[in-house]
Amino acid sequence: MITGRIPEITIKFSEKPDLPTEGKKVTVEIQGENNVTVKAEVNRKTLKKQVAKMDEYDEWVGALSGKIANISADGVVELEGAGLQVFEKKKKEPKPDNDKESTAA
């Protein structure tokens, strides 16, 4: 066994979370594949700003990251010191067809 620091993870998600109307801290839960749930407390104000970004972008991906505080027997991973960010997904432009230029020379 190798000992080290507290493990950190980052979970990507693409569904908009519910925005509670009250409380300074709110709990965000993300249900992943294989019935793994990640739960973290974040500032409501931060969550509100990130949800606003989700509404602005055509396509987006969210990331919830933090240190693993506990893993329950039910498979719920609890994070401490969690952060939430939203990134815009850029559409990939098709590559130009260079085959025509090389055969013309």
Our CA dihedral for 87, 93, 95, 101, rounded to 10 degrees, sits at -140
pLDDT for 3 equals: 83
pLDDT for 39 equals: 94
Rounded CA-CA distance 67/78 in Å is: 8
pLDDT for 67 equals: 95
User: Strand order of the sheet with strand 76-88?
Assistant: 8-13, 60-71, 76-88, 37-43, 25-31
pLDDT for 91 equals: 79
Give, for all 105 residues of the chain, the pLDDT tens digit: 778 888 999 999 999 988 877 889 999 999 887 788 999 999 999 999 999 999 999 999 999 999 999 999 888 999 999 999 999 988 777 777 665 555 555
pLDDT for 68 equals: 94
Rounded CA-CA distance 26/3 in Å is: 32
Rounded CA-CA distance 94/96 in Å is: 6
Report the 10 Å Cβ neighbour count for 50.
22
pLDDT for 64 equals: 94
- Domains by residue range for the chain, with CATH: 8-90 (2.40.50)
